[in-house]
Chain A
């Protein structure tokens, strides 16, 4: 088992504990040991607090990174927003002048940022450290024949010079992860669109989500697979708003990838918190029995 420091952020542990549960269930089966970070704060968020004061934002992000440096571990996140903040801080703080400035602030609390802990989203971590084959081997009930649309969201891949994860114009990491649990990834025409969460002008995100959900429906996906709690809330709670606004009933359950992986690894449907979603992935129930037929 290889140890990594887990940065859970705020949204998942506070509002979506089922996602945290899924992470804790699935990673050990892939040879990844989760080490909890004591004393972490919000990353801080790359939309609101960053818009107030970038230097303060960087200072708090740097403090979070030093917690992992203290343990001598690389860090992983479970939210695209946290990934964006911590990766950007890691990238910007390679600049000596800026790092000195931030370290002057950190000195107030007896800390120093060194730049020794690399940051990755858990999806990237699984790809790099476990590999798709390990995911496939951990699955006891492959989701054969289930069509899944993928929502990459923005900050797993972009800005690509900072994230260095995959080709932002033609990524494959999530398709491969979806394939590894036996499902069939289907690309929809608006896969590139974001959900619009950061936009403070309601009409824009409503139109964006409408465009996106329409093309997901066009490809007849049963689930919209995603890897970020903010994207999730936009497409769960937000889907109700979109349906009302456009007077059209969408029914596309958004599901966090690691809950799907946990299900495919044999965790019962009822234990995965799906009852709390507005759009429940009941289509998974047709695999509920199949955990008995474990293949040799």
Chain B
């Protein structure tokens, strides 16, 4: 078993319900509550296979204990997940560790913490409505294949969707 809590007294684990409540406001953020720590999600997890630091069962355990401070850090282990969903296929409890991990990343984003490459791509999307930037060379290439030039995304519409409405976040 992994050490769940860096505590001076190993027998006492204090569950931080605040962290769990916050996670539960994210779409499918509360799924970890159903985790019974069987470890079925680990066997086919490629990140766990190739990294000693990453283990979806341990991440779910940290969530159950509310050990947010170990996950809400720069260079968080969460970013080692490949989003492959093998864990969700294997979980007998329908926990979808992949989705819980994305919800945790949403919490990281609330704190303004992103890996630089991720922040850059998000920026491109929020500015242009696409993750891949356009350039005149793009349209020249398209023309070679008889394809019309790219059209700009109607950002007046898209931008309006990005702001939350007051009090709209999910509750458990």
Contact = CB atoms under 8 A, between A and B. Distances in A.
B51 interface: yes
B157 interface: yes
Nearest to B96: A159
Scoring A45, A169, A197, A273 by chain B CB atoms within 10 A of each residue's CB, the highest score goes to: A45
B106 A21 contact: no
B32 to A, nearest CB: 15
Interface in A19-51: 20-21, 24, 38-42, 44-51
Given A196-B82, A199-B80, A10 B130 contact: yes
B46 interface: yes
A40 B153 CA distance: 7
A45 to B, nearest CB: 5
A178 to B, nearest CB: 22
Contacts of A58: 27
Interface string A212-242: 0000000000000000000000000000000
B147 A51 contact: no
B132 A204 contact: no
Interface stretch (B13-21, B33-41, B59-67, B137-145): B137-145
Contact of A104 (B51, B89, B118, B165): B165
Contacts of A46: 83
A55 interface: yes
Given A45-B125, A198-B82, A13 B131 contact: no
Contacts of B85: 154-155, 158-159
Interface residues of B, number: 62
Contacts of A44: 125, 131
Interface in A98-116: 98, 101, 104-106, 108-109
A194 B160 contact: no
A204 to B, nearest CB: 5
B172 interface: no
A169 B108 CA distance: 33
Contact of A194 (B82, B108, B130, B132): B82
A149 to B, nearest CB: 18
A136 to B, nearest CB: 26
A120 B133 CA distance: 26
Contacts of B8: none
Interface in A39-72: 39-42, 44-56, 58-60, 63
Contacts of B121: 45, 48-49
A201 interface: yes
A192 B44 CA distance: 9
A63 to B, nearest CB: 6
A213 to B, nearest CB: 14
Nearest to B162: A56
A109 B161 contact: yes
A283 interface: no
A199 to B, nearest CB: 4
Interface in B95-123: 96, 98, 102-103, 105-106, 108-109, 114-115, 117-118, 121-122
A48 B158 contact: no
A186 interface: no
26 contacts: A17-B144, A17-B145, A20-B142, A38-B151, A39-B151, A39-B157, A41-B130, A42-B129, A42-B130, A44-B125, A51-B105, A51-B109, A53-B162, A54-B27, A92-B27, A101-B168, A101-B170, A104-B165, A159-B98, A168-B89, A194-B84, A198-B83, A199-B47, A199-B80, A203-B50, A207-B50
Interface of B: 26-28, 44, 46-47, 50-51, 54, 79-86, 88-89, 96, 98, 102-103, 105-106, 108-109, 114-115, 117-118, 121-122, 125, 129-134, 138, 141-142, 144-147, 150-151, 153-154, 157-158, 160-165, 168-170
Given A48-B118, A48-B131, 8 more contacts: A13-B150, A18-B145, A41-B129, A98-B27, A109-B161, A199-B80, A199-B81, A208-B46
